[in-house]
Structure formats: structure tokens, C-alpha cells
Chain A
Amino acid sequence: MSKYKLSHLDQLENEAIFVMREVVAQFERPALLFSGGKDSIVMVRLAQKAFWPAKIPFPLVHIDTGHNFEETLEYRDKLVQELGVDLIVGSVQESIDQGKAVEEKGPNASRNVLQTITLLDTIEKYKFDALFGGGRRDEEKARAKERFFSHRDEFGQWDPKNQRPELWNLFNGRKHIGEHFRIFPLSNWTEMDVWQYIAREKIPIPSIYYAHEREVFMRDGVYLAYSPYITLRDNEKIERKVVRFRTIGDMTCTGAVLSNASKIEDIILEVAAARETERGSRADDKRSDAAMEDRKKEGYF
């Protein structure tokens, strides 16, 4: 019977494809949240596979903090053009200009939390009823409690104590008007699975995942990229280092790691040897023990 056996990556791929097709069948206006990070890149590949030979039947949505790595934007624009799908950009700067969001103050100011406001606004504006996210349960302990189909009320809130049971592969996407769902096809993937899949499928990734020289500075034990959006504290100084990024998010809170990894195989070895989670270098998660749960309840990714 070994002929009829799927490897664990194939099983994960099949599970994600099933979920994506189910969403397109059950919802009217789905969209895929695209950050330019490795997880959303894998999601795009899975979406291609799920609907092939048809085009991906939903737009990509980028919630843009305005603090982007340039390489991410280049990658995004090229990808969208190749796929022939629509790109919708929700701008945090616009939310600030409209007075819906207020910029944080001080040297630790980040637009991470503000993204939630822009995200919920964008959902409302385009009347999206299902948003694919690249969240994985291995990332963070609050995410470990996520469903594939995760219900959000009319305020975009998540109620972790009152989630719908999810059995077999019978997904219940029924909702009332104004509510929506967040969909997590990569729920069962680990960071290692994502990298192995990128390697197996030979998917191109933004260059900042590979080692490169960059101006960085140390804050709370984490190297951050120096950029015009940063206010340095007195004791902080800019250094040039060879680094790469393990995750891609807002420039102001995404930590770099010292690395010489120049190809995907190097990255895989690095991930295998890592003694810290990828979110260990995310300043946004260090705010409190339940930072992720609190943000998610309000409607965060």
C-alpha cells in the first residue's frame, strides 16, 4: 500500500487546497491577505494550485503600514502582474490622515497595532466576507487555538472562548450580515514545513530573506533595520552587519538575524538549528505574554 501514501508535505498541501476551494465555494467575496512574507507567498502558490488551470479567483490585499522593505514591494508588484490578479492596498497612512488611527509616540512607536484599524476598514469597504491569512498554529500560543475557519463578529472581533467546533473537514462558514471569517489554510504547517515547501516547489522569495549587508542597530537584544521611520535612543548606534530576516513585517519591529545564508538550503539548516522561534525577533510580540491574543481579539491578522 506504500504506493498510496502521501508525505507530510503533500498532506499539508492537500489540506490547504481543500480549505481554499471550500472558501471559494462557500463565500461570495474572499480575498487573500498578502504581506510579502514567506507564509503569504506559499499561500499564493497553494491558491494557484487549488484553482488551476483557472486564475486565482480572488484579489490579494496588502495592509501597508508605509514602513515597508522596498524589496517586498518590488516582489509584490511583480507577482501580481505575473498572476494577473487584482491587488488592493489598505493604507495605514490613510487611516492616520483620516483621523481613524493615531500614530504611537516614543522610540518604540510602531504601526503594527494600527494595522488592525486599516484592515477592518478595508474589509468593510470592499465587503470581503472571508480573508485568507498565513497564520500558523505553531507560531504563537494564541494562534495554537485558531480554527481553519475563524469567525469574526460585526466588529471584527475574535472570541477565543466561544469558537465553533471544527470536525473532520466539514467547515461551517455560515454567518450573519456584517460578520466575516478569517481563513487559515496553513494552520498545521510549521516554519520548517514552509521553508521545505518553498525549496521543494522552487518558489522565489524576496531577497531580504537571504543574507545581505545592511545598517542595523540593537534594541532590546534584537537587531532592527535602520530606516527613516526609526528614532534612535541615546545609547543606540548604527552598525553595518550581514543579516537576513526570518519574518517580514513592518520595518520598525521586524528583527534581523546575523546570518550568511545565501540559498534556501542554508536557510533550512539555520531554521533547524534555531533555538528561538521566528517571532522571538518580533518586537510586537514582546509587549506582553498575551499580546497576540489581545490583538487578535480586536481583529488583528
Chain B
Amino acid sequence: MDNIEIMEKEFSSQEYLDMDLLRFTTAGSVDDGKSTLIGRLLHDTKSIFEDQLEAVEDASRKMGDHHVNLALLTDGLRAEREQGITIDVAYRYFATPKRKFIIADTPGHIQYTRNMVTGASTANLAIVLIDARNGVVEQTCRHSFIASLLQIKHLVLCINKMDLVDYDEEVYNRIKADFEDFSSKLEIQDIRYIPISALKGDNVVDKSENMPWYNGPTLLFTLENVHISSDYNFVDPRFPVQKVIRPQSDEYHDFRGYAGKIEGGIFKPGDEVLALPSGFTTRVRSIETMNGPLDEAFPPQNIVMTLEDEIDISRGDMIVKPNNQPNIGQDIELMICWLNEKPLLLGGKYAIRHTTKDARCIIKEVLYKVNINNLHKIEDDLSIGLNEIGRIRIRTTQPFFYDSYKKNRGTGSIILIDEATNETVGAGMII
């Protein structure tokens, strides 16, 4: 096959339309070579364009680099280039015939942990990079813990810079054993280890000839094949109402539909449903989209639902099933990751956002803080500052309909907003 034929196969056939999507984060310490790894993935999957490469070559020369600094592909902001560091989450895209990938490239600096949490919040998989010369360090533990806390289901530990330790199997085995020791405290079931050199390309896209002792798959093969379709909750039906659709046109005179995203379970026309907080029950009349009605709706579909009876439902309400209800209450315990320079204020009041619901809350109690390097509880210092994580109890102004974050990311997560600055200051995972 010539190139055109291959491309026709890749992009014009049903295959492209059937491709699925994997979102992953990359984390590592400042010099673990994270940006180099991403540059390598983009480069070796031919996702970098010539003008981008030229621009990077140009910029590398200006910075006095002797080789093309692939990190400059992702470090897009002026300040990042000047300082040679990554400040903000950068999103990058590439595709292979099997999958489309979204990378949330998050900075490794300690002061930017909030970016890691941000990137991790929507990821299916996390890559944590270790410098083979340094082994498991504090940041490795911190990043892995955050991935675990955010309920990322798959963790790939890349032991990088193997070229600098003579591709030594012993080094790899020692680091793997060290991490296995630590990871028993994590909640991640699926952990994989891959020895790589991002700079030289070993085991990233192509299998390394320098490490014949490693029989596992390359990083790209792993990313292409990891099983992610069960990452959503298909069991517990949850439909937070985002917006009421009332066309008020002649054609759809009496149409009243509830728009939103299915956050859990499966809804079908005819299903008996319960509206919260009113408690009224009715049945699903139809599930509508512009392309026609659906036989069923599942996460993460965004649909319009119509009901058999006209009952009072508005934004922030939730449609569930009578035999499977979420928790309902105003006193909620959660793990909070603090994202702002101004520390969490015990007794303070914040705006809170949960699914499509806005309310206010008061911080009632800080139960403990977590040392994110070793996961120990800290009970003698309960101040929670920027990039710190703790367990807190809040009381909300109105009842929330929620699940534990472990059960459902969508109905188990909240953000706190400073009412004076409007900044997003906390990310919470309900226990």
C-alpha cells in the first residue's frame, strides 16, 4: 500500500468514526523528561507538523540547546519558555488508527499540584515518570497518591532515562520493587511498569533493542489497548437537570424537556423515575436528540428527557429511580484539595457547585490533613493551604443529592468558590 491508501484506510473509513477516546495525564518531577516524552509520542506518531518542528528548532537554537528541545512543543507560554518550566496544564492531541488521545500535561513543581489535580479529574489513565537515576522520590508518591485520590483507574509508571543507567535491568527491578511497596497504600488496581528512554525513544513507540530483558509492551501499545469502557457507572441512574427546554413554538407548543448529562445508569422510555427534591414519581416518556429519539440513554450522553406528567423540575434537581436513590443531605464529608494561596478558612463560607446545583456552604470541621508524600494522617496541624489535601466536613444551605466519589465521579465531586474573588479555591471528593 502506498501512503495515500494507508491514509484512506485510517481516516476515510468507518474506522475513524468508530475510534474511541483515552484521556491521560502525565506527571513527573521537574527534570524527569515529561515534556520530552510527550514530544516523543507526538513525534513518533507523526502528530507534529513541519512548521511546528521548525518553530521548535528555532526556539531551541535561541535558547542555546544543542539538540531539538521537544519540551518546547508543549511549553507554550512565553514565561514557560523563558524559565524552561511548565506552568500550566497543557493539552495535546494525537491519534493512532486505534484511538484518539488527549494528554493533560501537568507541571511537576510542588507549587503546581493544583494543576495535576485538574488534569487528573477527567483522566482515564495516569503516566507517572521516574528518573531511573533517582528512583522513587517524594514527587512520585505525591503524583501517584493524587491519581489514586482522583480515582484514576490505570497507572503507568515509566522508568525514564534508562539510557543513563546503561539500560540496567537491576535498576528497573529495584525501582519497581520500591514502588510496589508504596503502592499497596493506593486504591489503584491496574499498575504497569515500563522502562523507557524518552530522549532516545526506547519502548515509547518502538520496542527497545537496548533492553532485551524487558518483555512487556511499549508505552504506546499500552495506551492503545488498556480497557476503559467500564470506567463509567452504568448501575446507578443519575440525571442532574441542567436546563429546561421549552421551545414555545407552534410546532412544539407543549414540549417541555429536561436537558442534561446522564451521570450514571441507564434510562429508557417507560422507566419509572423519581424527581429530587420534590419526591414525585412519573415515567420517562421519551429521550430526545436532534437526530431522533433514543431507545436508551447512558453516561456520558447529553440528552433531553420528557416525562409523562408535568411536575415541578428545574436546574439543579435530579432525576433518579425510586429503587436506587443517592444520598440526600446537608452535612457532607469530603477530601478537599486546596487550590488557592489563601488557606481554607475553618468556619468560613464558600459558594459550592455540585453537578448542576449551586449553593453555599460553611466549613464545619477539619478532621485531618494528609501528608501526601507518605499518606500519613496529620492531626496536630489542621491548616489546609495551597496544594494541601485534607478531610473536612461541610454543611450546605440546601440538601444535596450525592454519591461517594468512589461510586460516581460525576455526582461525587464538588468545587468551592471564594465568593469575594470568584476564584475556584477547592476541589472536593465526597467520601
Contact = CB atoms under 8 A, between A and B. Distances in A.
A138 B94 CA distance: 9
Contacts of B50: 275-276, 280
A6 B51 CA distance: 33
Interface residues of A, number: 70
A21 B243 contact: yes
Contacts of A137: 91-93
A49 B289 contact: yes
B115 A165 contact: yes
Contacts of A260: none
Contact of B424 (A6, A164, A271): A164
B304 interface: yes
Contact of A53 (B249, B298, B414): B249
Contacts of A161: 77, 79, 87-88
Interface stretch (A96-104, A124-132, A166-174, A224-232): A166-174
Main secondary structure of the interface of B (DSSP, over half): mixed
B74 interface: yes
A25 B414 contact: no
B347 to A, nearest CB: 22
Interface stretch (B17-25, B173-181, B206-214, B372-380): B17-25
Contact of B76 (A54, A141, A265, A280): A141
Nearest to A188: B102
Contacts of A170: 353-354, 413-415
Interface residues of B, number: 89
Contacts of B298: 4
B427 A17 contact: no
Contacts of B115: 165
B245 A53 contact: yes
Given A187-B91, A188-B91, A289-B59, A165 B118 contact: yes
B259 A168 contact: no
Given A4-B266, A169-B261, A172-B424, A192 B245 contact: no
Contacts of A165: 114-115, 117-118, 339, 424, 427
Interface of A: 1-2, 4-9, 11-12, 14-15, 17-18, 21-22, 24-25, 48-55, 137-138, 140-145, 160-161, 163-170, 172, 174-176, 187-188, 190, 192-193, 196, 200, 265, 268-269, 271-277, 280, 289-290, 293-294
9 contacts: A4-B229, A137-B93, A161-B87, A165-B118, A166-B118, A167-B427, A187-B91, A196-B17, A280-B50
Given A54-B247, A169-B261, 15 more contacts: A8-B21, A24-B243, A53-B252, A54-B245, A55-B249, A141-B76, A142-B76, A144-B91, A145-B89, A160-B77, A165-B339, A165-B427, A168-B121, A169-B122, A174-B417
